[in-house]
Amino acid sequence: MLPIFLKLFSNTKPPPDDLELVRLYRQSGDMTHLGDLFQRHTEMVYLVCLKYLKDEEESKDATMQLFEHLATALLKHDITNFKSWLHVTTKNHCLMQLRSKKKRQSINLEDLPPALMENKADLHLIEAETPDKVEQVLAEGMAGLPPEQRQCVEMFYLQQKSYKEIAALTGCELSKVKSYIQNGKRNLKIYMEKNHAPQ
């Protein structure tokens, strides 16, 4: 009760609402505004993540990933209801993680996206490896990609989503989506080659 009591007798202005913090962040790029904004909704984000991911540690990680995502997404979108937008964004992020996790669990040589292994020479680098080894190294390579590249590559190659769908789900510009996919594909291919080089 004490904070409420003190506020009644305070001459200070009330804290800015969500949209004002969004405006301040977009205008200045000051992460303090973003931190204040996200702190208000951290519990909601975590609980949504926990609802879908069913794991406390994964939910904590996802919450932090969403904070990092906001740093770029808020600069690209005009948002009229931040809490609602954040809830939908959180839900989509969790669903993408679940689909990606399920896909990685069942991936094998035949599942490798053709565009990632563009010629037979690439396949020769991995044909002597067991499917389990390929799956492990592919998962490691994906985990090592920058978050934006990993997300876009997973959605494009593993979930078969279009550039426009990815742009809508991630909040990235179409040109950025294409760039993330191209760079992610190149980095993943390099990683696979290095870790499957013949002994």
pLDDT tens, position by position, 114-163: 545 444 444 444 444 445 566 677 777 787 888 888 888 888 877 788 88
pLDDT for position 62 = 92
Residue spans of the domains in the chain: they are 14-106, 109-199
pLDDT tier at 195, thresholds 50, 70, 90? confident
Q: What is the CA radius of gyration of the chain?
A: 21
Give the phi and the psi of residue 67 in degrees, each rounded to 5.
Answer: -60, -45
Q: Are 71 and 34 contacting, i.e. CB atoms less than 8 angstroms apart?
A: yes
Please determine, for residue 93, whether its predicted confidence score (pLDDT) is greater than 70. yes
Among residues 121, 124, 104, the alpha carbon closest in space to that of 112 is found at: 104
* 104 pLDDT tier (thresholds 50, 70, 90): low
Residue range 155-173: mean pLDDT, rounded: 84
Lowest mean pLDDT among 19-33, 86-100, 136-150: 136-150
Q: Could you read off the pLDDT of 27-80 as tens digits, one per residue?
A: 998 899 889 998 999 999 999 999 999 889 999 999 999 998 888 888 888 888
Long-range CB contact pairs, 125-128, < 8 A, 24+ = 125/192, 125/193, 125/196, 125/197, 125/198, 126/192, 126/196, 128/198
CATH architecture of 14-106: Orthogonal Bundle (1.10)
Average pLDDT, stretch 76-88? 87
Say what angle helices 31-53 and 56-73 make with each other, to 10 degrees.
140
**Domain covering 109-199: architecture:** Orthogonal Bundle (1.10)
